[in-house]
Amino acid sequence: MLGTDWLLLTYWFVTTLVALGIFSIPEGYLFKDYYDPRVVAWNWSFFPLDVIFAALGIYAARLFTKGDNRWFGYALVSAALTFCAGFMAICYWVILSDFDPSWWIPNIIIAAWPVWFVPKLILAMK
């Protein structure tokens, strides 16, 4: 969970640097139509969702290490939002019929790990 949280925060940090013109990424690493204003808006529409799930996941891990049982609720919400973010991105690429493994694979992982994690999380709390 923490890996996804920190990686997404890193992604948004780098994306912000690119948007501000402080950093540039070679075209070959960018997704299709990266600079199209509608695609830019689509990408930034994930920012609040990604930051919220990352913050909740990091907070859940902190609570867990302190033995605070509230970690479960935060972890559950974080996992649900993580799934939504990954699934929404994959749906976007499906609608466009655009298959690029460098973007599909990370988003499939983002959508899939909560499906694996949540049942284990629930069983652990019984």
pLDDT in tens, 66-124: 999 999 999 999 999 999 999 999 999 999 998 989 889 999 999 999 999 999 989 98
Tell me what the mean pLDDT of segment 39-62 comes to.
Answer: 96
Tell me what the mean pLDDT of segment 25-39 comes to.
Answer: 88
pLDDT at 32 over 80: yes
For residue 24 the two structure tokens come to 């540039």
Q: Which residue has the higher pLDDT, 102 or 13?
A: 13
Between CA 53 and CA 39 the distance in angstroms is: 22
**Percent over 90 (pLDDT), the chain:** 79
Tell me what the mean pLDDT of segment 7-36 comes to.
Answer: 91
- Nearest alpha-carbon partner for 63 in 50, 47, 76: 76
Tell me what the mean pLDDT of segment 27-50 comes to.
Answer: 91
Residue type, 120: K
The whole model's pTM is what?
Answer: 0.88
Between CA 70 and CA 91 the distance in angstroms is: 32
Q: What is the pLDDT of residue 77?
A: 96
- Nearest alpha-carbon partner for 79 in 30, 124, 43, 12: 124
